[in-house]
Amino acid sequence: MPKSTKYQAKHPDGTGYIHYTPEEDAVWRDLAAQQTPNVQKYAAQPFLDGQAALNLSATRVPQCNEVSEVLRDLTGWSVAPVPALIGFSKFFGMLAERSFPAASFIRSREDFDYIEEPDIFHEIYGHTPLLTDQRFADFSQKIGQVGLACDTSEYAWLIRLYWFTIEFGLISENDGIKALGSGLASSPGELWHSVNEQTVVRRPFDVIDILRTPYRIDINQPIYFVLETVDQLLEASQRDLIADIKKAKSLGLFAPTYPEKQHA
Ligand SMILES: [Fe+2]
């Protein structure tokens, strides 16, 4: 997670409504118009099914409340606006309660194609379709429950499982490998890269391997993990993930396959 942000959270009014300006709605409209044809080509069926179920607005920033209404009926999840950056304990605590923390601001046009921190386009366009799937919904809650139960020194281990599935997971479908993760669905460049780039390593989904694989948040991923079915996430949510973290720690991290970030 980035350590600072230039963005301010948008706060709901007394009725729970978040007011977006016409320009902010226009940024959503243009992001969705750019991304939707790509998602139809490269995103996995469970994502597309979720998008169809939510029927998100193409012309304005959707309200957390209206998305929550649909999610509650389908999987018991809701979406709650939060400041741009929150700590891990709040993050895990909300997931454990089936409440998805959504950074409520939307990026400026300056950051149209790439933004390091999550914004409302990433949160709603990228994340909420998958939360319509009960298997994915259960897995997401389990990450939160494990986060509350594990030692704070183990957060970095647990978050890799979140990163390589919920954010950047791939899945094998009849017509090839498709993008499942929200970080892919909301990223114009990385969506294509994740499924088409020849030099990328695509490894089979394996909880211990994932926990041992380091990543950088500010580059296209050089390694992805590929599910055969979303059922594997449900199976993972039934594992003793705290024991898995301890095992991964004893085996140690894999060496990074990317250059270390240069600090100014
Ligand atoms: Fe995210």
- pLDDT tens-place values along the chain, 264 residues long: 445 678 999 999 999 999 999 999 999 999 999 999 999 999 999 999 999 999 999 999 999 999 999 999 999 999 999 987 899 999 999 999 999 999 999 999 999 998 888 999 999 999 999 999 999 999 999 999 999 999 999 999 999 999 999 999 999 999 999 999 999 999 988 999 999 999 999 999 999 999 999 999 999 999 999 999 999 999 999 999 999 999 999 999 999 998 887 664
Between the CA of 175 and the centroid of ligand 1 the distance, in Å, is 26
Based on the number of CB atoms within 10 Å of its own CB, is 212 exposed (0-12), middle (13-18) or buried (19 or more)? Answer: middle
Between the CA of 158 and the centroid of ligand 1 the distance, in Å, is 15
> In this structure, what CATH number is given to the domain that contains residue 147?
1.10.800.10
Between the CA of 169 and the centroid of ligand 1 the distance, in Å, is 12
As a whole number of angstroms, the distance between CA 93 and CA 89 comes to 6
Amino acid (one-letter) located at 194: S
Residues 50 and 192: beta-carbon distance below 8 Å: no
As a whole number of angstroms, the distance between CA 76 and CA 245 comes to 28
- Residue 82 three-state SS: strand
User: Does a structural domain hold residue 17?
Assistant: no
Residues 202 and 221: beta-carbon distance below 8 Å: no
User: Does a structural domain hold residue 173?
Assistant: yes
Residues 116 and 176: beta-carbon distance below 8 Å: no
User: Does a structural domain hold residue 262?
Assistant: no
Amino acid (one-letter) located at 42: Y
User: Does a structural domain hold residue 1?
Assistant: no
User: Does a structural domain hold residue 97?
Assistant: yes
Domain housing 235: 22-251
Structure tokens at 177: 């490998």
Q: Which residues are catalytic?
A: 122, 127, 167, 186
User: Does a structural domain hold residue 264?
Assistant: no
Structure tokens at 256: 């990074």
Domains: count for the chain = 1
Residues 35 and 29: beta-carbon distance below 8 Å: no
Between the CA of 149 and the centroid of ligand 1 the distance, in Å, is 21
Q: Tell me which residue has tokens 């294509």.
A: 192
Q: Which tens digit of pLDDT belongs to each residue from 136-192?
A: 999 999 999 999 999 999 999 999 999 999 999 999 999 999 999 999 999 988 999
- Residue 144 three-state SS: helix
Q: Compute the residue count for the chain.
A: 264
Between the CA of 107 and the centroid of ligand 1 the distance, in Å, is 14
Listed in sequence order, the residues at least 6 apart from 141 whose beta carbon sits closer than 8 Å to its beta carbon are 95, 96, 98, 237
User: Does a structural domain hold residue 55?
Assistant: yes
Name the pTM for this structure.
0.94
User: Does a structural domain hold residue 2?
Assistant: no
